[in-house]
A = this chain, B = another copy of it.
Amino acid sequence: MDYFKDYRDYVGSKPEKFFKSTLFESDKILLGLNCLEPGQEQAVHAHGDQDKFYFVLEGVGEFTVGDTVQSASDGMTVWAPEDVDHGVRNVGDVRLVLLVGLAPAPGH
């Protein structure tokens, strides 16, 4: 398999909903991208049995985690432990690109 991937090859967009892609996946972890055009959002939700992180690669998002609402731009890591509500909205004027990890991977 190819152990090396450039995240820029996995960026994309969808008009109707934010865009997801997968970089690597095993039973232990899913690593991928969430890409949100300006104004798009990932509705607040929670995972019952997964911890999740976002790492902001490009753009600026307004994140909700639990009772906290905070803007974060490139270089920020956002942690959403299992059972904690979380979501994000692109509040900038360029695409928001997030590296996202879910452990364990969904369905495992």
Interface on chain A toward B: helix, strand, loop, or mixed SS? Answer: strand
The distance in angstroms between the C-alpha atoms of A24 and B82, with both chains bound, is 13
Q: Are B103 and A29 in contact (CB-based, < 8 A)?
A: yes
Q: Are B77 and A24 in contact (CB-based, < 8 A)?
A: yes
Q: Are A68 and B99 in contact (CB-based, < 8 A)?
A: no
Size of chain A's interface in residues, with CB distance under 8 A? 37
Q: Is A31 an interface residue (CB 8 A)?
A: yes
Please name all residues of chain B whose beta carbon is closer than 8 Å to the beta carbon of A7 when the two chains form the complex.
55, 75-77
Please name all residues of chain B whose beta carbon is closer than 8 Å to the beta carbon of A29 when the two chains form the complex.
29, 51, 53, 101, 103
* Residues 42-79 of A at the B interface (beta carbon under 8 Å): 50-51, 53, 55, 57, 63, 65-66, 68, 70, 72, 75-79
- Can you list 16 A-B contacts (CB < 8 A)? A1-B79, A3-B65, A3-B79, A3-B80, A3-B84, A4-B65, A4-B76, A4-B77, A4-B79, A7-B75, A7-B77, A8-B75, A24-B53, A26-B51, A28-B50, A31-B77
